[in-house]
Amino acid sequence: MKAKGKTFVGCSGFSYAHWKGVFYPKEIAPNKWLEFYAQRFNTVELNVTFYRLPKQSVFKSWQKRTPKGFIFVVKGSKLITHFKMLKQVKEPLKELIERVSGLGEKLGLMLWQLKPSQKLDWLLLAEFVELLKESSPKLRHSFEFRNSSWFVPEVYKLLSDARMTVCLADYPARLPEPSDDFPYIYIRRHGPESSAYRGCYSQEQLKALAERIKNWLNQGKDVYVYFNNDLQGYAPENALQLKKYLG
């Protein structure tokens, strides 16, 4: 009998000033927010790495400040995904992996979000996948495609064979939902409204998502879920509600 998968539910980032008094108690200083967050969630998606690359010592600090079993997801640098668009990225990838290694065994996965204008290039993706396998053979990877040309069986097979996955995202809404035939599932909820990062998911939407997650867990797949609707503090609210429905 196949063992059930594990669930990781959290938010896309934890350091938001507008969460103070909404999620974080007013009396807690910002340098204690991560500890407070990690008492309620078992994972966080780090978006800061998309914009800039902190020193390895910063990652080591985050590793020490979170409990055993806590998992970090690191979003790949926009230098790699948006400026170089996966081309000739061996050196910046090496530096990124070196820095985030400060998270130790708590580094669970890396997220690669491509530009909406970047269209399908199977050979380029295959070369990047090989580079990832060489530089981080034990690390899981998820790709968030924002151009519909990538949502094809040959891409799904390439990533599945490499033990990687395609992100199930709900923004932009015009994009198709990819296959879920992957060794693990990665979900990003950007917000229920047409513009991203805002709005609160309804209880019906969260219950429906919980049922889908339970089905994947019963198939033995680990499931990672991150809420990115950070405005007005809806992300942690929805993440806590989803945890409740998952039991």
pLDDT digits (tens, 9 = 90+) for 231-243: 999 999 999 999 9
What pLDDT is recorded for position 144? 98
Confirm whether 2 is domain-assigned. Answer: no
| φ, ψ dihedrals at 39, nearest 5° | -80, -15
Contact call for residues 107 and 101 (beta carbons, < 8 A): yes
pLDDT digits (tens, 9 = 90+) for 83-97: 999 999 999 999 999
d(CA 71, CA 105): 8
Q: State whether residue 191 is helix, strand or coil.
A: coil
Confirm whether 166 is domain-assigned. Answer: yes
pLDDT category of residue 100 using cuts at 50, 70 and 90:
very high
Mean pLDDT of the chain: 96
Confirm whether 1 is domain-assigned. Answer: no
What pLDDT is recorded for position 109? 98
Q: Using DSSP bridges, classify how beta strands 71-75 and 7-12 pair: parallel, antiparallel or unpaired.
A: unpaired
Domain count, the chain: 1
Contact call for residues 189 and 228 (beta carbons, < 8 A): yes
Confirm whether 226 is domain-assigned. Answer: yes
Residues forming beta bridges with residue 95, ordered by sequence position: none
pLDDT digits (tens, 9 = 90+) for 119-146: 999 999 999 999 999 999 999 999 999 9
Confirm whether 221 is domain-assigned. Answer: yes
Whether pLDDT at 194 is above 80: no
Identify the domain containing residue 157 by its residue range. 7-246
What pLDDT is recorded for position 64? 98
What pLDDT is recorded for position 25? 98
Check which CATH number belongs to the domain holding 233 and give it.
3.20.20.410
Q: State whether residue 5 is helix, strand or coil.
A: coil
pLDDT category of residue 183 using cuts at 50, 70 and 90:
very high
Confirm whether 158 is domain-assigned. Answer: yes
- In angstroms, the Cα distances linking 192 to 8, 176, 201, 205 are 21, 16, 6, 9
What pLDDT is recorded for position 1? 65
Beta strand residue intervals within the chain, DSSP E: 7-12, 43-46, 71-75, 107-113, 140-144, 165-166, 168-169, 184-189, 222-227
Confirm whether 120 is domain-assigned. Answer: yes
Confirm whether 41 is domain-assigned. Answer: yes
86: phi > 0 → left, psi -120 to 50 → alpha, else beta; which? left
What pLDDT is recorded for position 174? 78
d(CA 87, CA 96): 15
Whether pLDDT at 247 is above 80: yes
